[in-house]
Structure 1
Amino acid sequence: MDGSGVERVRLTPWSEGDFWLLRRTNSPEMTEHLGGPESEEKLADRQRRYVEPSAGRMYRVTLADGGESVGSIGYWEREWRGGTVWETGWGILPEFQGRGLAASAARALVAVVRRAGGHGALHAFPAVDHPASNGVCRRAGFTLLGQADFEYPKGNWIRSNDWCVDLRAAPANGSRPGPTTNRHDR
């Protein structure tokens, strides 16, 4: 291992068969900082977007030593401060939280997004009162730029931290990109 921990997880492009995982992460516990669970109709719409992304991609996060699904992570375009950037978000199932898997997945995703190109920065916007997700950003090598307000979902304002990785910069530790099981990365 190169010290980054990315070998602990694999990122597999989202597929039709992953709807069960989307449903599992739609619990009150998992969506507490995102405005709460979505309706079945909104989940079905999200599944369609995840399977056929136009810019960016969603991944199922699996353990590298057995393939057990532990959560999801992805990236997509966001208009931010006068330009277009990549944004990321993740969810690790409760029974796998606290093991560093989200930070490993975020480091692997940074490598994927770097290869994909397109924009110079990858941002994460966890709620300021969500210590676990802010800790993931810190451990994954993101830089805290400040705070911002976001409406997500519509009608629900969230005070967030703006964490960023400069994708044009060389990886901090010179590590090689993290593993994925499929190279359909754009």
Structure 2
Amino acid sequence: MPAAPTPAVPPPPALSLEECQHLTSAFLAGPMFRALHAVEYAVPEWGDGPGTEPLSAAARAGVALRHVPGASDAEYRIAAFGDTLRMRLQLNVWRFVIVYTVPAHDLADAPGIAPRFERWQTGAGHAGWTIGWRDAVDPWDHERRLVETYCYAMLPRDFLIDPMAQLYWRTDIVQMTRAFMLEARRVGVRLA
């Protein structure tokens, strides 16, 4: 007996430009902002079962946000593990771009810092992120040199309306940011 045909997956519904802009802003300033608080969280004592405090109450990271409603990007300042990381997140409907910004010191530049994060970069690559490094200058303070780590990932075409896809990528960004901050701490790179 032949196998039943696989039903065709319908295309995502057509959204207007205004709806896309609204959903993008809502994600960046809502669920993504709230999720980043869990970059650092209190872990319960060892016991016979899980702790009783939900993640939202155990979250310890301080997060500040800069976002203009309707824009496709937001900037977050994440205070966790005794340091502060500046992260820019762009949601371009079907693609994420993350830029982690680290102050460059006298002996630190992209070629000097990148090898220290090789373990982190390998893990992010396994999750589907393309990673790169570049030297930069702060656009508001041209005397301040920076090292930027940029991360790209393609999203499903229905990302803006698929809560499961949003949960997956939101969780992945939190875990990747957590790992970046912990790796910086391990290798002695100050983020603030």
Common topology (TM > 0.5)? no
TM-score bracket relative to the smaller structure: 0.3 to 0.5
TM-score normalized with structure 1 length? 0.34
1 or 2, which has the higher helix percentage? 2
**Which structure carries more relative contact order (alpha carbon 8 Å, separation 6+)?**
1
TM-score normalized with structure 2 length? 0.33
